[in-house]
Every structure is written in structure tokens, then in C-alpha cells.
Amino acid sequence: MAEALDVCVKWPNDLVTSQHRKLAGILAELELDASGRVRHIVLGVGVNVNQTVFPGLPDATSLATERGAPQDRSALLVALVRAIEGAPVGEPAGLDLWRARSATLGRTVAVDGVEGVAEDIRDDGALIVGGRAVLTGDVSLLG
């Protein structure tokens, strides 16, 4: 989705502009079968499309704001569904795409009581901060 929207990923699940303004959020829930393989994934996606006012959310933005004009929501939905369907699941290539679009890696962050440089995203999705793996939490970009 980040590639389809030409934005960055703020670990673990926000899509942000290059100026770190939040454009979208993604929540994923997966179910495994008895062998540990993914049975299915349910995605919840919220994208600020044509909204232009964000009371109490100074770092929020929308596609309309960023692109300077209202956006066709139907065309956007088609593009995002295609992006999701074409995404590599459970393969290192998917993480490489995530790393390439990361707004978090290389930055000093605070997350779940850990502060330091976000060094990498481990194969299981954990963020490596100052040599420690962080599996959950809201990331604050520092500095």
C-alpha cells in the first residue's frame, strides 16, 4: 500500500508522508493453522482520502491535501486492493519492501520504554532499537 500511495511506513502500521504526516493506518490480524502456517489475514485499513480538517491531530494529512485536489475513492480502492493482492506474504522480499519505505529506520526513536536508533526490522516484524527487539508499541520519532 505504501508503494501504491508513494508514501513511507512508520513502524509498525502507519503510512506517512516524507514529512512524517500520518495519511493512513493498517491493522492486521492473522490466524494460523495447526502447522503454524497462515490460514488467513484480516486487514483493517483507514486512509484519509478527501478529509481536509483534522481537529486535534496536527500531524494528520490526506491524499486530497497532499495532492492538491479531491481524489476518486473508487479508483483508490481498486489500486489498494491490487497492491494488497500482489504483496509478497511471509517472504523476505516483503520485508525488504517495508525496509526500503521505512520512515523509522535510521532515526532515533522511543518505543515501549526503549530509546535509541531504529536499526532494522527483524524477519518476524520486530523493530530493532539500540540492539533490542521491540515487538509492539507506538513509535515516537525523536530529534
Instruction: Report the number of distinct structural domains present in the chain.
Output: 2
Cis peptide, bond prior to residue 92, ω within 30 of zero: no
The three-class DSSP label of residue 62 is coil
Look at the chain and count its residues: 143
Shared-domain flag, residues 96 and 108: no
One domain, residues 34 and 99: yes
**Is residue 55 located within the same domain as residue 68?**
yes
pLDDT of 59-84, one tens digit each?
Answer: 999 999 999 999 999 999 999 999 88
* pTM of the shown model: 0.84
> Model confidence over 20-29: pLDDT tens digits?
999 999 888 8
Helix or strand (DSSP H, E) at 74: helix 73-85
Is 96 found in the same domain as 34? Answer: yes
**Residue 108 bridge partners (DSSP):** 117, 142
**pLDDT value for 103:** 93
Q: What is the pLDDT of residue 113?
A: 85
97 band by pLDDT with thresholds 50, 70 and 90: confident
**Per-residue CA distances from 110 to 16, 24, 46, 92, 117 (Å):** 17, 21, 24, 26, 9
88 vs 119, residue with greater confidence: 119
Show the domain range for 33. 2-103
Q: Dihedral (C-alpha) 88, 43, 67, 52: value to the nearest 10 degrees?
A: -170
